[in-house]
Structure formats: structure tokens, C-alpha cells
Structure 1
Amino acid sequence: MTADTVGGVWTYSIELIRALPHIEFALATMGAPITAEQRAEASQLPNVQLFPSSYALEWMDDPWQDVDRAGDWLLEIARSFNPHVVHLNGYAHASLRWAAPVLVVAHSDVLSWWAAVKKCEAPRGYSEYRKRVAEGLNAADVVVAPTAAMLRSLGENFSWRGDGRVIWNGRDPQLFSSGIKRDVIFSAGRAWDEAKNLAALEAAAPQVRWPIEIAGDTSHPNGAELQFKYVRALGKLPGHQLVERLATSAIYALPARYEPFGLSALEAALSGCALVLGDVPSLREVWGDAARFVDADDHHALAAALNALIDDVAERDKLADRAQRRAAEFSPQRMAAGYNAAYSDCLTPRAVEMVP
């Protein structure tokens, strides 16, 4: 299994490995050096061998030399580990000459990100990315996405029509709890990420009657530092502190322009927060009537939605309860069952059409 260390894919990978204790995993990490906290998480799982690296990911700037080197490295790991299935949380490496069937998980992609965030097609500079992702999708034996919206986007952007299925992500509810709620609005994520759109909370904050707190990295990879005036920036919190903030925050706001699933919203719901989310198809698909949805670029509507829940305690509690019950459906056990079936399908010989 591959995983990047810079986003939610790490959390997803650890949760899935934990939920499949009967399967031995070789976990190859890329994107950035693994942190001490991540290494400690992996060390607690007896069914994983960790292979860390800092090779660039395919969505990063000018990554292809690193991507090719990472491919050689992954094949070397496979030769020693001898996997029954290759589980890739990315696209490009699916087209390598693997000796085992390949499952690709589509957590996100640059082209759908660009369409949702920039409201236009990705620039021509992404032609190599488009080519490599399409080749990877077409080489995969099975393609998985966490939502039907994400799965549809693969066909729209890469003309892919292969074997695809939706398997919801999951989080262990025992890792989260609902405590005494403070009159505060909380959010978490990379503050500089235009897709997460946490800057909208800064814009809406002067109109909102409760304080807003944001946990997450404020330093852009290009070196720029995002400054906040009206919200409280907590920086990147350790896992246990993030859990504490979720437990004691009454409202969780994620005005995302693009979010193919949204693990942070799931964690907030498991913690008893009322959800205010960006009105995008994937989040509608996941949460239905268990969240309030707002136009991600309408800061007045965002402030109004937050103030409405601030003023109506009964509605806020009702929405939080609805979200928590919905969140219980996204269990690690359900996710594990889906992947067990997908792995089995990868290993099932397919009928070959004989051409006279």
C-alpha cells in the first residue's frame, strides 16, 4: 500500500490497516518525511511493515523524475514483500509492471480540484499529469473512490470507463467523544488550501457572533505565511489536542470548494459537532440532511448559517445528533468489508474472450 504523509490519506491508510488485522501490509510513504507522530501510529499496528520515503507526489510541481524513481523503489519493495494485491493511493504507479493485481483508490485529482476551485480547466502544463493518471486508471484491475461524485469525475476528466466502485471511508468512533460544548466554531485543515477554503471563515468572522478557531498548517509550501486577523489560528495540533478541540466545539465549519469525502467533517460529527459545510456534490452525498450547506464563496451566507445555529440551540443540538448518527454509518468495519471484497475481486481470475 502506498500513502502520502501530507494529507488525509495517511489517516485513511492507518484506519484501514487497523481494521484488517488479518492482512499483512507493506506501507510505502511518499510526499514528505514521515513525522515522529506518524511513525508512532504505524508502530502500534502489528500487521504493517513501514517503508518511508520523501519522493514527490504526482500532483506536486515538476514531480516526474521523482515519480519514476519512486516506481523503481516500489517495485523493489514488491519483489521482497511479494504482495497478493498492490493497493495504490495514487494513479501513476498503477501502470508499472506489477506481478500482482492492482487496486487504485481515487482520493482526489488535480483536474477535478482545478474545476471546483478555479472554475476552469487545468492549464496545459498538466498534460503529463492527465496522461499518467489516465494510464494508471486504465492499468488498474479495480478502481475505488470514497464517493460516487469522485468516481464520476474520473470519467469526466480522464475518459475512464473501467471497473469502479464506491467504498466509504471510515473512522473509529471510539477515538472521539462529545464533551461539554463551548460557544465556539472550529475548523481544521491546511489553512492555505484553496479547496478547504478556510479563508472564507476569516472573511465571515466579523459578522459571526461566536469566536472561530482554526487548527492547521498556515505555511504554504511556497514559503508564504497565511495571516489571520479575525479568527484564532491554533497552528498544527497533535492528534490528541485536535480530538479535544472537536469534543468541546459546538459547531464545525468546513466551507470547502472541493472535498471528495471529508474525514475532518466525519471526525467532527463523531465528536458531536453540528456541521456547516460547503455545498459541493460529494459532501451532499455523504451528509444529506445531517448538515447545513452553504455556497463556499458566499461569506454572508456562511455567516448567516453559523449565526442561525448560534441563536437556535434546539436546532443546533438536533443537527449535531443527526450528524453523529449519520457518522456512525462510516465505520472502519464497513470500510474494511468493502476493501476485503475489492481485494478478493482483484484476485478472481477474469474470463478471457477468445477471438477466432
Structure 2
Amino acid sequence: MTTDAVGGVWTYAIDLSRGVSRAGVEVTLVSFGPSPSPDQVKAAHAVPGLTLVDTGLPLDWMANEPAEILEAGAVLRGLARAHRADVIHLNSPALAAIGGFAAPVIGACHSCLATWWAAVKDGPMPRDFRWRTQALWQGLLACNALLAPTAAFAEATARTYEVPVPFVVHNGRAPAGLAPALCEPMVFTSGRLWDEGKNVAVLDEAASLIAAPLYAAGPLSGPNGEWRRLGYAKSLGRLSARIVAEWLARAPVYASSALYEPFGLGVLEAAQAGCALVLSDIPTFRELWDGAAVFVPPRDPKGFARAMDRLLADPAEAAVLAAQARARAGRYTVQAMAAGVLSIYRQFNPVRFHGVIAGVAA
């Protein structure tokens, strides 16, 4: 399985590896891009049967030319053969473009530049986006099967690349399990704040309009040189998963104004922690959280401010909404995610994965 240490793909890969390990599946986790941090490495080593390989090779969306993607794919192909992999799970499907893999290739579509551009920007994509999109298209065509974390994103992927609609397996996350904490009057958000698709500028403007502070966890600068400045929201920088969980345990309200979010693990973590959700009205969030969140047009800072102020001023309403979010989060478990992914593995390698789904522990 491939991964990167930049965003939510790392969390997904670790949780999925933990889930399938309960069925006796051993994972070789191959990391591309910037090296994992010490706390990320520690999390990987805590997964039974997991071997971590840090290649240092560029991610497809950070490569300088198509040849670098093909080179990374060739390295991965060699590792898969050396480890006698029964299935290759690519969280960067562009790596499949090299071809020649000795086992079925499953491409997990977490995000892509073309769908990101369509959601965030206007006009034609720049040249560097176009050739990366072409590389991904070639990789998608080379995969034996595709999967996506929401039906909305599966449909967007199929429409954009003219490929079969991917299998849909919702992401899952294990609750942090922290004891309830005394809520403080604040709003919390998290994610890759430098990413324009997260649209944190809207929450930053909304922060100037509400009485309580809005805290933002996550990096303000990205590995591709992108960066953001916050004027009113209080930046906490990159935090470990444990520290984020502690903040969520104290926050009555969690907000995301994302323009582009194929799933949103941060929202799921907030719902599990018992936060009331104020979310941008985009198709993926509607699919996952309709009836369990307040929705606001993504480019409306005053709308976000009104929604957040209302919940902060009415703890009873916030508690009802938080309970609805926590109940909905019960659908999105690591167990359900692992079972869904293992069912796909079994379709494409029935001999090696026969019966493993029954072994997924609760």
C-alpha cells in the first residue's frame, strides 16, 4: 500500500492497515514525498504486521516531470515483487501507469488536481496541472479497480476521467476515546490550512465576526510552496493526533468551509468527539452529514459567523446537533472501512483473500 505523510492519506493508510491486520493481512506501507514525522513513524510501528518503507521519491502532484512518476512506479513495482504482494493498493493511482505489476492493482481516489481545480478555480488548468492530470488518467486506466470515499467523489472521478464509477467505501476512523472535557466557548477547525481548497480564508474572516475565538490546527505552508496567513483565527500549527483530540474534546463547535473535500477525516473526528458541525454546503458533506450538521454556502463568511454564534449562544441546540453528529459518525468505522476494502481485494484475488472478511474484528 502506498501513502504519503502530507495529509489525510496517511491517517487513512494507518487506520486501514490496522483494520485489515485484524483479518491477518500483512501490509508493506510504502511512503512517497516528505518523510513521515516521528509521531507518524511511531503510529506505523504500532500496527501489527506492518512494514514501513520510506522511499523519499516525489508524490505525483509534486513531481517535476512525468518521468519522475514513472520512476516512482517502477520502484514500487520492484518492492511489490520483492515482498510478494497479493494486491497493490495505490493511494496515488498515477503510480500504476508504469504497468507490469504482478498482482491486482486497486487505485484509491482520494483527491486529484482536475476535480480540485473544478471546485476551487475558474478557467483552464495550467500546464503543470494538465500533464499531472494526464499521468493520473493513465494510472487510473491501468488499475484493475478503483475505489473512492464518497459516492459524490466517485461520480466526479468517473465524469472527469471517463472511467468506470469507482467502488464506494466510506473512510473510517477509530474514536480517540478521551474522557469528556468541560467545553470552552470556542470554535475549532483543522486540516491542511495552506490548501486553497480548504477555504480557510472564509473561516478567518468569520472569526472576526464572532465573540468567541476560532482555533485552526494544521500547517500554514505546504511542501509545494503554497502558504496561507491568518488574520483573526488563532493558528495552532501542526498538532499530533492526540493533541487534536484533546482540543476537540473541549470544543463545542467544529467548522469547515472547504470548497473541495472528497471525504473530510477532520470532520469525522470532530463528530466522534461530540462537536456540533458547521459545514460548507458541498456534495460530499451533504452525502455524509445531511441531517447532522448546519450547512452554509462555502463562500459566505457572515453565514458561518451567524451559524457559529447561534450554536455558541445556545448550548442546548449545540448539544442536540452534536449528538446527531456523533450518531452519524457511528456509520464510519475502521471495521466497516476494512471490510469494504477487503471485499474488493477478494473480488480481484479470490484465492489469497478468500474468507478474510470474516476475520475482521470489532
- Mark yes or no: TM-score above 0.5: yes
CA distance in 2, matches of 1:245, 1:290: 21
Secondary structure in structure 1 of the residue aligned to 2:291: helix
Question: Which residue is 2:131 aligned to?
Answer: 128
| Superposed counterparts of 1:7-86, under 5 Å | 7-21=7-21, 22-60=24-62, 62-86=64-88
Contact 2:9 2:91 in 1 (8 A): yes
Number of corresponding residues: 348
Of residues 154, 157, 162, the one that matches 2:160 is 157
* 1:294 pairs with 2:296: yes
TM-score relative to the length of structure 1: 0.93
CA distance in 2, matches of 1:195, 1:249: 24
Question: Which residue is 1:99 aligned to?
Answer: 102
Contact 2:63 2:69 in 1 (8 A): no
Q: Select between 9-18 and 135-144 the one with higher mean Cα deviation.
A: 135-144
Structure 2: gaps (5+ residues): 352-362
Contact 1:107 1:145 in 2 (8 A): yes
Question: For 1:72-100, what per-residue CA distance to the aligned partner results, in whole angstroms no more than 9, with x for missing partners?
Answer: 21112112101111100012122321010
Question: For 1:16-71, what per-residue CA distance to the aligned partner results, in whole angstroms no more than 9, with x for missing partners?
Answer: 11111210111100121121111111111121111112211112252533322211
* 1:238 pairs with 2:236: no
Contact 2:176 2:245 in 1 (8 A): no
Q: Select between 114-123 and 29-38 the one with higher mean Cα deviation.
A: 114-123
Question: Which residue is 2:228 aligned to?
Answer: 226
Secondary structure in structure 2 of the residue aligned to 1:290: coil
The one-letter code matched in structure 2 to 1:195 is G
Q: Select between 8-17 and 199-208 the one with higher mean Cα deviation.
A: 199-208
* TM-aligned CA deviation for residue 237 of structure 1: 1.2
* TM-aligned CA deviation for residue 168 of structure 1: 0.5
* 1:142 pairs with 2:177: no
* TM-aligned CA deviation for residue 223 of structure 1: 5.0
Question: Which residue is 1:267 aligned to?
Answer: 269
CA distance in 1, matches of 2:106, 2:215: 38
Secondary structure in structure 2 of the residue aligned to 1:246: helix
The one-letter code matched in structure 2 to 1:143 is L
Contact 2:217 2:235 in 1 (8 A): yes
* TM-aligned CA deviation for residue 175 of structure 1: 4.2
Contact 2:186 2:312 in 1 (8 A): no
Question: Which residue is 2:119 aligned to?
Answer: 116
Contact 2:173 2:332 in 1 (8 A): yes
Structure 1: gaps (5+ residues): 350-356
Q: Structure 1 residues 51, 175: CA separation in 2 closer, same or farther (over 3 Å shift)?
A: farther
Contact 2:293 2:321 in 1 (8 A): yes
Question: Which residue is 1:341 aligned to?
Answer: 343
Question: Which residue is 1:279 aligned to?
Answer: 281
Question: For 1:304-329, what per-residue CA distance to the aligned partner results, in whole angstroms no more than 9, with x for missing partners?
Answer: 11112122222111100000000011
Q: Select between 280-289 and 228-237 the one with higher mean Cα deviation.
A: 228-237
Q: Structure 1 residues 63, 252: CA separation in 2 closer, same or farther (over 3 Å shift)?
A: farther
Question: For 1:1-23, what per-residue CA distance to the aligned partner results, in whole angstroms no more than 9, with x for missing partners?
Answer: 00011010000010011111210
Contact 1:146 1:167 in 2 (8 A): yes
Give the percent of matched residue pairs that are identical in Structure 1 and Structure 2: 38
The one-letter code matched in structure 1 to 2:12 is Y
CA distance in 1, matches of 2:63, 2:335: 36
Contact 1:191 1:199 in 2 (8 A): no
Contact 2:91 2:110 in 1 (8 A): yes
CA distance in 1, matches of 2:45, 2:222: 29
Question: Which residue is 2:260 aligned to?
Answer: 258
Q: Select between 170-179 and 8-17 the one with higher mean Cα deviation.
A: 170-179
The one-letter code matched in structure 2 to 1:328 is G
CA distance in 2, matches of 1:176, 1:65: 46
The one-letter code matched in structure 2 to 1:201 is L
The one-letter code matched in structure 2 to 1:107 is H
* TM-aligned CA deviation for residue 348 of structure 1: 4.2
Secondary structure in structure 2 of the residue aligned to 1:33: coil
Question: Which residue is 1:190 aligned to?
Answer: 192
TM-score relative to the length of structure 2: 0.92
Question: Which residue is 2:355 aligned to?
Answer: none
* TM-aligned CA deviation for residue 222 of structure 1: 5.5
Secondary structure in structure 1 of the residue aligned to 2:61: coil
Contact 1:28 1:51 in 2 (8 A): yes
Secondary structure in structure 2 of the residue aligned to 1:20: helix
Q: Structure 1 residues 132, 219: CA separation in 2 closer, same or farther (over 3 Å shift)?
A: closer
The one-letter code matched in structure 2 to 1:293 is F
Contact 1:32 1:53 in 2 (8 A): no
Question: Which residue is 1:172 aligned to?
Answer: 174
* TM-aligned CA deviation for residue 249 of structure 1: 0.6
Q: Structure 1 residues 77, 176: CA separation in 2 closer, same or farther (over 3 Å shift)?
A: farther
* TM-aligned CA deviation for residue 192 of structure 1: 1.6
